[in-house]
Amino acid sequence: MTKAPNMKTLFLTVLAVSHFVLIGCSQSQSASDKKAGGSCEDCQLMYEGMPGNLSWHTDLAGDNEPGEPLVISGTIFKRDGKTPASGVILYVYHTDHRGLYSPDPNQTKAKRHGHLRGWVKTDELGRYQIKTIRPASYPDSRNPQHIHPIIKEPGYSHYWIDDFLFDDDPLLTDQEKAHQQKRGGPGIISLQMNDKGVWIGKRDIILGLNIPGY
């Protein structure tokens, strides 16, 4: 005969499960979030593998990743463009040095985003920093080099902003520049290589700017 759990054990079990659910949901969308930004293909994949604790800086590539090292940093501001926004999640993903979204062997649902993907969560100063490699254009294409960004801020559904593009990319044509929607602000950034051979770039982001339904 199976012994029924006592009330104390049952209470502790329920408490532990509730805590797990709250932690697991704290980084994802809520039914009460305001919908903004329109359609967002595959954006839900940003939650796959998202750590429970996020920092304002991350390293997507590691020391052994082939390619040219790249560091992008900036500040995320509230809609007024002046007040730093803390607690905002920025998810990014991009191709490897061959222009492929090469997956990690351990990836499942998010393999379409490749292994060069990750998250930052702005600090009290609104700062973020991403260390990675410079992505390559898709093989045999005329697509410029780019990094896909998705924003998840408190109280709003996730939404995409303009890709990170690089002004020295020969594939970034005037026509491509004219098509930019400037969601979150301009996404075309200038890169400078430092004395260590690392590309350095800066992009500030304004929440809700040119985002439909915001």
* Mean pLDDT within 172-194: 97
How much of the chain, in percent, has pLDDT values that exceed 90? 81
pLDDT at 52: 94
Task: Find where tokens 């998705």 sit.
Answer: 150
> Which residue's entry shows tokens 């990750």?
118
Question: How do residues 84-142 score in pLDDT, each as one tens digit?
Answer: 999 999 999 999 999 999 998 887 789 999 999 999 999 999 999 999 999 999 999 99
Q: Which run of H or of E encompasses 24?
A: helix 7-25
Residue 73: strand, helix, or coil: strand
Closest CA to 136 of 111, 179, 171, 162: 171
> Is the per-residue pLDDT at 20 higher than 50?
no
Q: Assess contact for 119 and 110: CB atoms under 8 A.
A: no
Q: Reply yes or no on whether the pLDDT at 29 is more than 80.
A: no
The residues, ordered by sequence, that sit 6+ positions from 130 with a Cβ below 8 Å of its Cβ are 57, 58, 60, 71, 72, 73, 92, 118, 120
List the single range of 13-17, 47-51, 70-74 with lowest mean pLDDT.
13-17
Angstrom distance (rounded) from CA 200 to CA 52: 28
Of 197, 200, 137, the closest CA to residue 169 belongs to 137
CA 176 to chain centre: 22
Instruction: Look at residue 28 in the predicted model and tell me its pLDDT.
Output: 65
94 compared with 10, residue with greater pLDDT: 94
Burial string for 27-62 (b: 16+ CB within 10 Å, else e) reads: bebeeeeeebbeeeeebebbbebbeeebebebebbe
What is the percent of the chain where pLDDT is above 70?
86
Q: Which domains does the chain have, with CATH numbers?
A: 37-206 (2.60.130.10)
Calculate the average pLDDT of the chain.
89
Assess whether pLDDT exceeds 90 at residue 11.
Answer: no
